[in-house]
Structure 1
């Protein structure tokens, strides 16, 4: 009962309606600005005026206006360079000459376009047959035979979107738990409220209540922003008149993602709650950097997402310290054998059960220490060996 009381207190401690509404409103404003900004930028940006001398077939490039001028007006055009004209193009002895007043960032885009355009002109002048020109300008076709039906491009985009959202929300949940647990536990320890609390509840009830309450709050935050992110993507596709982006995942995949993410939050927050209790002064302790370790599994899962079928991703999706991030990402791209899914879940549950007991021992030791921090040897012995701790 005490565990659930602490969990409810920790959840309500950080869940504030006004703060929640303001955060969502600010995020919606940011999303709206990101949609409107390209149109505003396009309206404000003017086309660069480029004078083309002695060329009949003018190039085409977005953001640039090419105008053919007579060679007789070259002197007048040069005088107005930098005012009426931004650049002058002319061909002398087969060489494209680009005249500019001064160096600017937009010139790299213009130069690359001119190189491609001039290459096309040179190929067109060669004594080649239409078939030979086609072989030069077009890449050869490679026939691909798939034994399984090819996935739709929309499905690929949806899977990439889904995996990207999982990574983003996981990082958000991990660092939210990091901030709340770190500030909450260290402030309680510095304010010397632990003696009173330990007379009412056990260290096990205290840490488990904190982990449960803050993990639920982090999950709530992830679900809220996940739904807003999905609505934003759908709204952006409607505004831009593009095909609607669907999420090609099954109900079981959604269930598995939620299950692994929830267990992962419990695992990560157990580590951070235990380690935060061992920090005496957060302003001067060199151990605070260790609180960022839970972000490593997400980084490893991200590094293997480009080869979801590979051995690395298979190992990461089964290994209990990385499976909470790797398994949902892998399931978004490939069909995972049922025995690997069951093995991964079993190992994650076993690791979480053992980690909970180990984190409780470290928390019980660290929360009672004032004025000093336990040594790394004490931490390791307490974490690994319950007999020595007793």
Structure 2
């Protein structure tokens, strides 16, 4: 056990002390956040400004069209299409729209907007929204319907769901459970790919450089494999925690760094889905009212995070010990390992919507799928949606699965780490695992 700890410590320190670790750990979130802020900034600060001339011969809009800082409307009288084109060429307007005198507000009105150059997608959507909103307002007035009457007619009924046990089954709670389950499962999915492949590359490097031949003279191959898995896993965990802290801190600092940008993002119609969801949660008082057991979810996330990493890392280490310099050999052997991870994320997309379905239950129990799928189910509640026996069975099977894969990988590792010049296959690796020494 002491040798495993020494190897894990060496793997951890050699990677953490590299400049590449600092660059990827610190600069990557900063670069990602910077690009994200720039995209939002340029999306809400469009340089395209349009002043649209409106020749409303039928007085459809009643000289009322609301604009904003980028889109404005000017009603003109006594101008025809030719004169409006000349105004555009003189850059007096950036476009014009003519509404014929026979247009009826209660009928379908076709509005053709002529511009000198092609209109961008965002500006096009803004212009369409403002014209449609004005048409709707004028139609209501023509039908003697006030906005208050329309709002009253659109009021939705207060529909509530509950279980036979009397538990309130609110849509807000389901939405939060969906988001938490999806994000948790997706994070584990990413971790399995990134750090599992990192373990495989580490084993391949030592085998190709013949360092493993020197190391195994003083330690057992199984100890070497476990030390590498634990050391690289610790690197990934530290990096993961730093990323979460940095992204959370930068998210809180965004309104302080760009106060004008924050206000524009809040008022803009181009808010992204995450911002809209955050506003909905904040305005509805959802945070604090939803009955979600976060300590349980966090504890299960850590368990499945570590369990899934250990299970798949042992398999990736197994492949790394069997292949030689040719990376194509590794790619061919990785397929049976990567396919269960991909199937897990596919099953998870169903489990977040139907956590009690047969496929979701199977995926949450099978060790190769459970680290991803079970997190999608746990977020919906343990005890009612996920029975306690299923959670305990899933954890037990994951532990058994890790023990088996570690045993299997240790057997293959013992033979593969010292074998060169032969292209391996899973059939031959299976023989290595059950070979008697």
TM-score, scaled to structure 1: 0.83
What is the TM-score when the length of structure 2 is the normalising length?
Answer: 0.75
Q: What is aligned with 1:200? A: 218
SS in 2 for 1:53: strand
**Structure 1 residue 204, shift from structure 2 partner:** 1.3
Work out which of the residue numbers 75, 79, 86 in structure 2 matches 1:79: 86
Q: Structure 1 pair 233/100, CA: closer, same or farther in 2 (3 Å)?
A: same
Query: What's the counterpart of residue 76 of structure 2?
Result: 70
Give the drift of 1:20: 4.4
In structure 1, distance between residues paired with 2:44 and 2:150: 35
Q: Does the CA-based 8 Å contact 2:182-2:349 persist in structure 1? A: no
> Residue 168 of structure 2 corresponds to which residue in structure 1?
149
Distance 2:348 2:251 in 1: 21
Question: Shift in Å at residue 219 of structure 1?
Answer: 1.9
**Contact 1:59–1:117 (8 Å) recurs in 2:** no
Which residue pairs with 2:275 in the alignment?
A: none
Q: Judging changes above 3 Å, is the alpha-carbon distance between structure 1 residues 171 and 323 closer, same or farther for their aligned structure 2 residues?
A: closer
- Deviation of the 1:58 alpha carbon: 3.8
Q: Is the 8 A contact 2:140 2:146 kept in 1?
A: no
| 2:416 pairs with 1:378 | no
SS in 1 for 2:79: helix
Deviations 1:60-105 (A, max 9, x none): 4666523233232344432132633222122123242322334333
- Cα gap change, 1:185 to 1:21, in 2 (>3 Å): closer
Which position in structure 2 is the counterpart of 1:51? 53
Which residue of 196, 204, 207 corresponds with 1:189?
Answer: 207
RMSD of aligned Cα (Å): 3.5
1:322 Cα deviation from its structure 2 partner:
1.2
Contact 1:165 1:226 survives alignment (8 Å): no
Does the Cα contact within 8 Å between 1:51 and 1:88 map onto a contact in 2?
yes
Asked if 1:352 is matched to 2:352, the reply is no
Following the alignment from structure 1 to structure 2, what is the Cα–Cα distance between the partners of residues 252 and 66?
A: 53
Alignment match, 1:30: 32
- Distance in 1 between the 2:246 and 2:340 partners? 25
CA distance in 1, matches of 2:249, 2:344: 24
- The structure showing larger relative contact order (alpha-carbon pairs under 8 Å, at least 6 residues apart) is 2
Q: Distance in 2 between matches of 1:42 and 1:114?
A: 17
- 1:49 alignment partner, SS class: strand
Report how many aligned residue pairs link the two structures.
384
**Cα distance in 2 for residues equivalent to 1:262 and 1:201:** 25
Distance between the aligned counterparts of 1:46 and 1:269, measured in 2? 51
- Match for residue 272 of structure 1 among 316, 341, 355: 316
Q: Which moved more, 1:308-317 or 1:346-355?
A: 308-317
- Structure 2 distance, partners of 1:371, 1:126, is 85
* Secondary structure, aligned partner of 2:72: strand
Partner SS state of residue 309, structure 1: coil
Other-structure match for 1:116: 132
Q: Is the 8 A contact 2:300 2:375 kept in 1?
A: yes
Residues 149 and 228 of structure 1: CA distance in aligned 2, closer, same or farther (over 3 Å): farther
Whole-angstrom CA distance in 2 between matches of 1:205 and 1:10: 13
1:170 and 1:298 in contact (8 A); partners too: no
Q: Which runs of 5+ in 2 are unaligned?
A: 104-108, 264-278
2:199 and 2:114 mapped to 1: Cα distance? 61
Partner of 1:299: 345
Within-5 A mapping of 1:230-269: 230-236=248-254, 240=262, 243=282, 249-269=293-313
TM superposition shift of 1:261? 0.8
* Aligned-pair CA distance for 1:380: 3.6
CA distance in 2, matches of 1:327, 1:99: 55
Q: Is the 8 A contact 1:46 1:63 kept in 2?
A: no
CA distance in 2, matches of 1:236, 1:172: 26
Contact 1:219 1:262 in 2 (8 A): no
Task: State the match for 2:355 in structure 1.
Answer: 309
| Residue in 1 that maps onto 2:98 | 90
State whether structure 2 residue 17 is matched by structure 1 residue 16: yes
Structure 2: how far apart are the matches of 1:322 and 1:177? 17
User: Are the equivalent residues in 2 in contact too, given 1:274–1:362 (CA < 8 A)?
Assistant: yes
Q: C-alpha distance in 2, partners of 1:125/1:267?
A: 67
